[in-house]
Amino acid sequence: MRLRILGGLDFTSAGGEPTQDVTRQTRLLLACLALAGARGLSRAELCALFWPDRPSAQARSSLRQALAAIRKALTSAPGDADAISLQSDLDIVKLVANPTTVDVFAFRHGVKQDGREGWIVAANAYRGELLAGVEVPDDIEEFLTPHRRGLSAQAQAVVEGLSKIDDADGEALSAAQALAERVLQSIPASEEAHRALMRIHFRRGRTNAALRQFEQCREALRRELQAEPDGETRQLLGSIQSSVNDKHDKPRRAEAGEPEANGTANLMISGPSVAIMPFDNLGDAADEYFADGVVEEITAALSRIRDFFVIARQSAFTFKGRFVDVKEVGLALGVAYLVEGTVRRGGDRLRISVQLVDTLTRTQLWSERYEGATAEIFEFQDQIATQVAGALKPAIRGAEIEAALRKPPASLRAYDLVMRAFPKLWGQNAAAIEEAIPLLTDALGIDPKYGRAHALLAWCHTLKVTYLWTSEPDRELEAARRAIAATAGLIDNDPTALTAAGAATSFCGDQEGASALIERALALDPNNAWAWARWGWNGIYRGQPALALERFEKAMKLSPLDPFAFNTRMGMAAALARSGRLEEAVAIGKDVTRKHPDVTWVHRQLAAWAAMAGDIETARAAARKLLAANPEFTIRRYLAIPAFQDMPEYFNQMAQGLRDAGLPES
């Protein structure tokens, strides 16, 4: 068995399968025993923590039942070195286990070793804050708080210790970096973690990244604590700056494949990192979508160049209409460069002005103006992508850049209609999809071989089926399948279209075919956040929750401020739910519904997960909201969704959760 309480709460078999018969309260009891360590907890303490309102005899009876359930779940073979067991007498209960089976045991064991090997063990064991994302009753939270603070303080000491090792190798630096990032998720103003990342970046020759890390540290301290960096952090900054001055060279960025200072492979994102900001529309207000389309195409072309790390368009567009200092944008998105521009369209004439800016120094590195007929838009977009790529990384061959450029559609008018439809697809509501479908249909009426339009149309039809926005699902599925078939030979070089077709194929129930399309999209465009997210959902539908979670995390990294991130977060929640981590899934579902009340399909997931976790109050509240938004919802219709057909066992559990939440069967 394995028990994880750092970064969540998991109690699984050695093979990673969740234990089905252990309640949330019993797992919390295991967590408390793990924290108590060799001292154990008295039966009186456990009763006071878990059954404070019950009479003593009844509380002790409940404790005996809980301990019996734990012993039943602990089915490791006798003498197994990895076995977890309970030891108890009339007063004290202890959890006994090999450190490899309980993460907090491994963490504390590594801390005690006080050196490289032990610190690496501790860093790998600390997957996040104690019971992160798990809702805990107040009495138990009072017990957990000092443990949480102590473990967090130890994690911060470990990360700083690892980063200070003079001869730290790639393994030590990688462990330190990962731990620092996990610490900052729960303690954004941790100077120890920020200092560790500054040292790691500097050792790897990424001086600008080290300096940006200091800026992030200062911003976090001001935001969270209304404070400034302490003396040690400022001294570290001074050392880095002095080293740069000693070399008589300005801070530089590591090139792709450049070796680290210690000779191991660079473990950070290599090569230039860039975001294409929303271009200002200087023409008619009705042309706003056109300016956005220009940015979409340039972003897509650059993201397909493998030496680049390109932030997804959706994250960059969170700054649309705002005046923000380029340095702040660079810090928020984690990029070294920004592309800014303006678009003016008047009649059949077009003018695009573009500039490339270094976010750290605010220096303009390159600028250009393109002027001509509107029909030249595709050529201009290609020229911009080529010149930006050449300015950022001259070593990229012209053939690589040319390969990254997508063949333009035959008709500018068809392209214009697709660009009008595109923003409507991200709304995740029925009205927006109904507006997008005729725009895409009209585009295909002009250019029947416009592969992207076919793929997006297929996705629209399957969204209506999957989110139960239609009373004729068979008709919508047939329209989707026709549109998918029409893409054959038309989208082989278009990652966006491949992703849309893959998403539609997945929603039609063909997960293997969907995976092939999305993998092709990622082979062309490894920076495509949407493709990574859709591949994550494909993993959910194929019963691969661990793999799905990795894909969703990659999508979030590529588009950290994405307005569509709620969909990716719900995917992460689905992966957690499928892994038995229901409380964490419910916590994400609650947060998404609070921040995106108009995305009503989330309520059906939340209702099922909450019921499965035993939180009937939350489940029924979600069910009421779901029925208010979609009165026609029934469990029978939900279970008929094609995408769910490859995992009948899990969705039978979901169906029972929906029943327990009070939703109608038919």
Nearby residues of 209 by Cβ (< 8 Å), 6 or more positions away: 201, 253, 268
User: What pLDDT does residue 295 have?
Assistant: 78
Judge whether residue 262 has pLDDT over 70.
no
Judge whether residue 259 has pLDDT over 80.
no
User: What pLDDT does residue 451 have?
Assistant: 93
Judge whether residue 155 has pLDDT over 80.
yes
| Weakest mean pLDDT among 114-118, 409-413, 590-594 | 409-413
Q: pLDDT by residue (tens digit) across 372-382?
A: 888 777 777 76
Angstrom CA distances, 111 to 125, 145, 156, stand at 11, 20, 11
User: What pLDDT does residue 338 have?
Assistant: 85
Nearby residues of 475 by Cβ (< 8 Å), 6 or more positions away: none
Q: Which residue in 313, 287, 290, 289 sits closest to 301, CA to CA? A: 313
| Weakest mean pLDDT among 27-41, 391-405, 573-587 | 391-405
Residue 285: which pLDDT band, with cuts at 50, 70 and 90?
Answer: confident
Residue 409: which pLDDT band, with cuts at 50, 70 and 90?
Answer: low
- Residues 409-526, CATH architecture: Alpha Horseshoe (1.25)
User: What pLDDT does residue 276 have?
Assistant: 85
Which of 3.40.50.10860, 1.20.1440.230, 3.40.50.10610, 3.40.50.300 would CATH assign to domain 273-408?
3.40.50.10610
Mean pLDDT of 60-81: 78
Class of the CATH-defined domain 580-666: mainly alpha
Contact between residue 576 and residue 540 where contact means Cβ atoms under 8 Å apart:
no
Measured distance between the N- and C-terminal CA atoms of the chain, rounded to whole angstroms: 40
- Residues 2-138, CATH architecture: Orthogonal Bundle (1.10)
User: What pLDDT does residue 17 have?
Assistant: 67
Q: Which residue in 473, 478, 537 sits closest to 503, CA to CA? A: 537
Mean pLDDT of 261-282: 56
520/499 Cα distance (integer angstroms): 9
Judge whether residue 434 has pLDDT over 60.
yes
Mean pLDDT, the chain, rounded, equals 83
Q: Which residue in 339, 341, 335, 340 sits closest to 360, CA to CA? A: 335
Q: Which residue has the higher pLDDT, 405 or 665?
A: 665
Residue 254: which pLDDT band, with cuts at 50, 70 and 90?
Answer: very low
| Weakest mean pLDDT among 48-52, 448-452, 598-602 | 598-602
Q: Which residue has the higher pLDDT, 390 or 176?
A: 176
- 372, β-bridge pairs: 350
By percentage, how much of the chain surpasses pLDDT 70? 86
User: What pLDDT does residue 308 have?
Assistant: 63
Mean pLDDT of 193-208: 89
Contact between residue 84 and residue 96 where contact means Cβ atoms under 8 Å apart:
yes
User: What pLDDT does residue 374 have?
Assistant: 81
User: What pLDDT does residue 390 have?
Assistant: 58
Say if 2-138 and 273-408 have the same CATH topology: no
Give me the residue spans of the domains in the chain.
Answer: 2-138, 188-268, 273-408, 409-526, 580-666
Is pTM beyond 0.75 here? no
Render 504-533 in DSSP notation, one character per residue: HHHHTT-HHHHHHHHHHHHHH-TT-HHHHH
Residue 552: which pLDDT band, with cuts at 50, 70 and 90?
Answer: very high
